[in-house]
């Protein structure tokens, strides 16, 4: 009887967790244009929470990494550590031209490379800066991808 109750509880918790992924937003540097647009996505006008996404600050509790800005030499090891601290299954979203291809900082001495050289990227959201609608569409793609990876 107890074992059956534990299985039901585990399935219920698994279902609830699968329907409410936590998102970590990290700005790695740049002009902060992408960050402003990302904050717009978190406001009630675009309301990412209606799809179950909740913004959190601890990488050990998040499921989706939302990263924007050019990857500098100082932030690269920290980004790698945050990626390793995020539990599986995880999805990484690169937001903006700087995260995808160094953007306007392509010749800067302190820029180490695009995000996909540091960690595997699952969803790309192009633009300089991308509109909130495009970011929301990228997050929805990431949510579907994360749900398909999530198994118990």
Structural domain harbouring 53: 20-149
> Is 7 a domain residue?
no
Token output for 4 = 């059956």
State pLDDT tens for residues 94-138: 998 888 888 888 888 888 878 888 899 999 999 888 999 999 999
> Is 3 a domain residue?
no
Find the CATH number of the domain harbouring 59: 3.40.50.12280
User: Which has the closest alpha carbon to 98: 64, 126, 73, 132?
Assistant: 126
Which band of pLDDT confidence, cut at 50, 70 and 90, is reported for residue 16? low
> Is 6 a domain residue?
no
- Residue labelled with tokens 């002009």: 31
Q: Based on the structure, what is the number of domains in the chain?
A: 1
How many whole angstroms separate alpha carbon 145 and alpha carbon 23? 14
State pLDDT tens for residues 77-90: 999 999 999 888 88
Cβ atoms of residues 151 and 120 within 8 Å: no
> Is 13 a domain residue?
no
- Residue labelled with tokens 């920290």: 78
> Is 14 a domain residue?
no
State pLDDT tens for residues 32-41: 888 888 888 8
State pLDDT tens for residues 44-86: 888 887 777 777 788 888 888 999 988 888 999 999 999 999 8
> Is 12 a domain residue?
no
């Amino acid at each position: 009887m107890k074992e059956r109750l534990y299985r039901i509880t585990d399935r219920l918790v698994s279902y609830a967790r699968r329907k409410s992924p936590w998102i970590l937003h990290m700005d790695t540097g740049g002009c902060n244009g992408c960050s402003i647009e990302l904050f717009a996505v978190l406001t009630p006008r675009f309301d990412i929470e209606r799809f179950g996404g909740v913004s959190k600050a601890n990488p050990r509790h998040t499921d989706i990494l939302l990263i924007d800005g050019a990857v500098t030499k100082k932030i690269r090891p920290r980004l790698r550590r945050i990626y390793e601290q995020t539990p599986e299954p995880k999805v990484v979203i690169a937001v903006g031209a700087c995260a995808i291809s160094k953007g306007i900082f392509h010749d800067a001495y302190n820029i180490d490379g695009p995000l996909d050289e540091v960690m595997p990227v699952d969803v790309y959201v192009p633009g300089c800066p991308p509109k909130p609608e495009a970011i929301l569409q990228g997050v929805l793609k990431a949510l579907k991808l994360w749900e398909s990876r999530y198994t118990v």
